């Protein structure tokens, strides 16, 4: 039996892989796939460098991230930084998704900060 030698990931593939892993946090690839609107194997292929997103899936990914498509494409192609949105700039639904994607200990810190802000 001949082993399959995998070529190293190029920079674009590495950035896409890291991006997917960061977006899903402690969640599974299935979770991210559901949020983006793609098949779970698609996210697996993106993270492993086995495929790159089709244009329509790049658009879905950008929408999930709350950024313009050209910003995402520049990040993947050129390594430009993704904009860091303040919590006030995010729609509440997206802010909740960000919080839910974090670890339990991080969610507890957010909850404590929210309660402190309400002076409860």
Domains of the chain and any CATH numbers:
8-84 (1.10.260.40), 85-120 (no CATH)
Neighbouring C-beta atoms of residue 108, cutoff 10 Å = 11
Q: What is the pLDDT of residue 2?
A: 63
Q: pTM of the entire structure?
A: 0.67
Integer Cα distance of 84 and 37 in angstroms: 23
pLDDT in tens, 22-36: 888 888 999 999 999
* CA proximity to 42, closest of 68, 70, 61: 61
Q: Write down the pLDDT at residue 28.
A: 93
The residue whose two tokens read 């190293």 is: 8
Q: Which two tokens stand for residue 19?
A: 């991006």
- pLDDT value for 98: 77
Can you give the C-alpha Rg of the chain in angstroms?
A: 17
pLDDT score recorded for residue 114: 81
Predicted pLDDT of residue 4: 65
pLDDT-flagged residues of the chain (< 70): 1-5, 85-91, 118-120
């Amino acid at each position: 039996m001949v082993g399959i030698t995998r070529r190293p990931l190029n920079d674009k593939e590495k950035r896409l892989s890291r991006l997917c892993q960061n977006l899903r946090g402690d969640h599974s690839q299935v979770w991210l796939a559901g949020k983006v609107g793609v098949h779970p194997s698609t996210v697996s292929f993106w993270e492993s460098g086995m495929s790159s997103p089709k244009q329509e899936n790049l658009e879905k990914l950008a929408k999930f991230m709350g950024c313009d498509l050209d910003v995402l494409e520049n990040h993947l192609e050129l390594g430009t930084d993704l904009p860091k949105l303040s919590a006030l700039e995010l729609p509440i639904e997206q802010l909740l998704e960000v919080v839910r994607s974090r670890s339990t200990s991080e969610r507890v810190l957010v909850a404590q900060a929210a309660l402190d802000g309400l002076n409860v």
